């Protein structure tokens, strides 16, 4: 009797494929679900202090802003961290208020806001109330203001009244302004500034406050050059000017930004060369100059920056042999050089198992054309994922030919595996049923 062993073998094979694919798909499905929302512990000491310690005027103000006050708003942590109080007596006062996911009919009333001038921090997230003129006591008391996807639209003059701010954040909210200087002119204490996705127009101010440590003006409509005076910000650690309409050269004094760690000038129209003075910035971690028109060769100083983790120079007009050795390239988390037509690497001094988006050089230091075909990017195999799994920061532009195909492959890897697993499972079950039917007919 030959059929049974064959049948059993087939059955075994089918079962093994279905079970392994099912296992793979379940692990991949359960993974995203695991981050358990840490349930806000409902008041360890709540019941004991049932009567609120908050100033009754401020309780009424919170109620008018649709913030629940059934539980004492001063007990920490408050739901969604909406409220934080000071310790004054007999009544405590609010120092921080965070309005988020407001119902569409919430309105900021001046009566409510008048009683809130004890606030140091005011923030809005997904709260589409209309902005109203804040009482001056409140605008003077704030040291931190944040508006993310809220308040419909703002004006520079409205923001400029927060003269004591150290932290200003506006994102995904359009600001109507003739220039950033209108907003920042009187904020002499500012340390961190984020205005992104805010339709901000005009140019970069000639004078920025020297104590700034964090400047993010990404995704706006800023135009013009980087003023040399920007390089005076010697406390600046973070600078993101990506996705604007900035142009001109990167100032030669750029290396004066001695505290800089993360910088992105990506997706603008910067030209000229990468300034050598950057080699003097010892703490650089993340450098993104992609999607500009930078020329010249890739400077060798990058490999001497001990902390560098991310280097993205793709989609520029750089040329020549890259001055990097394999141990430097391995040390990085992300290296992107694609989309620079005349950039190449020295095959005899650098054997690259990983894909960095450029071709090897011929003996004249020019890339061996055509660019690495699909074959070479495929045999880079698993290691290429080390260089493909970063953010989509530089994504916008016309990618570096062979580069984008393989990157897309990487990004779709997860879902494809699940689909494949399910498909194999289902088809093998169908096949099994058909096979059994045939078998039963055949035997019977």
Ligand X SMILES: *[C@@H]1O[C@H](CO)[C@@H](O)[C@H](O)[C@H]1NC(C)=O
Site string for ligand X, 164-203 (x = CB under 6 A): x---------x---------------------x--x-x--
Q: Can you tell me which of 99, 310, 358, 359 binds ligand X, judged by CB under 6 A? A: 310
Residue 268 in the binding site for ligand X (CB under 6 A): no
Q: Dihedral of CA 65/69/72/76: which sign? A: negative
Residue 309 in the binding site for ligand X (CB under 6 A): yes
Number of CB atoms found within 10 A of residue 395's CB: 15
Residue 421 in the binding site for ligand X (CB under 6 A): no
Residue 352 in the binding site for ligand X (CB under 6 A): no
Residue 128 in the binding site for ligand X (CB under 6 A): no
Strands 83-85 and 94-100: what pairing? antiparallel
Site string for ligand X, 375-414 (x = CB under 6 A): ----------------x-x----xx-x--xx--------x
Distance CA 256, CA 280 (A): 8
Residue 240 in the binding site for ligand X (CB under 6 A): yes
Distance CA 98, CA 124 (A): 6
Gyration radius (Cα) of the chain, Å: 29
Q: Hey, which residues does 310 pair with through a beta bridge?
A: 286, 334
Q: How far is the CB of 9 from ligand X (least distance, A)?
A: 26
Residue 246 in the binding site for ligand X (CB under 6 A): no
Residue 100 in the binding site for ligand X (CB under 6 A): yes
* Sole residue written with tokens 């950039």: 343
Say which residues have a Cβ less than 8 Å from residue 110's Cβ, sequence separation at least 6: 132, 133, 135
Residue 282 in the binding site for ligand X (CB under 6 A): no
Closer residue to ligand X, CB minimum distance, 95 or 249 = 95
Q: From start to end of 217-321, where are the E strands?
A: 223-224, 238-240, 245-249, 262-264, 269-271, 286-288, 310-312, 319-321
Residue 286 in the binding site for ligand X (CB under 6 A): yes
Say which residues have a Cβ less than 8 Å from residue 407's Cβ, sequence separation at least 6: 388, 399
Q: Hey, which residues does 240 pair with through a beta bridge?
A: 216, 264
CA within 13 Å, CB half, 17: 17
Closer residue to ligand X, CB minimum distance, 51 or 101 = 101
Residue 365 in the binding site for ligand X (CB under 6 A): yes
Q: How far is the CB of 176 from ligand X (least distance, A)?
A: 7
| Interacting residues with ligand X (CB under 6 A) | 24, 27-28, 31, 40, 77, 80-81, 100-101, 103, 105, 126, 140-141, 163-164, 174, 196, 199, 201, 211, 218-219, 221, 238, 240, 242, 262, 264, 285-286, 288, 303-304, 309-310, 321, 325, 327-328, 346, 348-349, 361, 363, 365, 391, 393, 398-399, 401, 404-405, 414, 417
């Amino acid at each position: 009797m030959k059929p049974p062993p064959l049948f059993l073998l087939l059955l075994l094979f089918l079962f093994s494929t279905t079970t392994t694919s099912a296992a793979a798909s379940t692990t991949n499905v359960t993974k995203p679900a695991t981050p358990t929302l840490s349930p806000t512990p409902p008041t360890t000491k709540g019941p004991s202090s049932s009567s609120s310690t908050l100033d009754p005027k401020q309780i009424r103000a919170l109620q008018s802003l649709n913030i629940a006050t059934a539980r004492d708003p001063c007990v920490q942590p408050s739901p969604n961290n909406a409220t934080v109080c000071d310790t004054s007596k007999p009544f405590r006062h609010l120092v921080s208020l965070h309005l988020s996911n407001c119902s569409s009919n919430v309105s900021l009333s001046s009566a409510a806001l008048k009683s809130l001038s004890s606030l140091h921090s005011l923030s809005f997230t997904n709260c589409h109330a209309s902005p109203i003129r804040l009482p001056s006591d409140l605008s003077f008391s704030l040291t931190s203001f944040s508006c993310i996807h809220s308040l419909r639209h703002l004006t520079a003059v409205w923001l400029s009244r927060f003269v004591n701010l150290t932290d200003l954040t506006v994102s995904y909210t359009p600001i109507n302004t003739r220039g950033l200087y209108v907003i920042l002119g009187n904020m002499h204490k500012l340390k961190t500034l984020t205005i992104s996705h805010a339709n901000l127009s005009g140019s970069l101010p000639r004078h920025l406050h020297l104590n700034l440590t964090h400047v993010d003006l990404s995704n706006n409509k800023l135009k013009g050059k980087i003023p040399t005076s920007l390089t005076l910000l010697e406390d600046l650690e973070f600078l993101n000017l990506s996705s604007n309409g900035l142009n001109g050269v990167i100032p030669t004094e750029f290396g004066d930004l001695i505290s800089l760690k993360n910088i992105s000038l990506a997706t603008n129209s910067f030209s000229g060369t990468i300034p050598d003075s950057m080699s003097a910035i010892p703490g650089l971690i993340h450098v993104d100059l992609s999607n500009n028109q930078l020329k010249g060769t890739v400077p060798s100083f990058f490999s001497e920056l001990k902390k560098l983790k991310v280097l993205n120079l793709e989609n520029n007009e750089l040329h020549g042999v890259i001055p990097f050795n394999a141990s430097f390239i391995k040390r990085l988390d992300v290296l992107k050089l694609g989309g620079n037509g005349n950039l190449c690497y020295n095959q005899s001094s650098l054997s690259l198992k990983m894909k960095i988006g450029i071709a090897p050089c011929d003996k004249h230091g020019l890339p061996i054309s055509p660019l690495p075909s699909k074959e070479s990017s495929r045999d880079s195999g698993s290691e290429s994922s080390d260089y493909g799994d970063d953010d989509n920061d530089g994504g916008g532009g016309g990618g570096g030919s062979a580069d984008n195909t393989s990157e897309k492959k990487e990004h779709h890897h997860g879902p494809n595996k699940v689909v494949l697993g399910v498909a194999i499972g289902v088809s093998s079950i169908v096949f099994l049923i058909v096979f059994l039917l045939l078998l039963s007919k055949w035997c019977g």
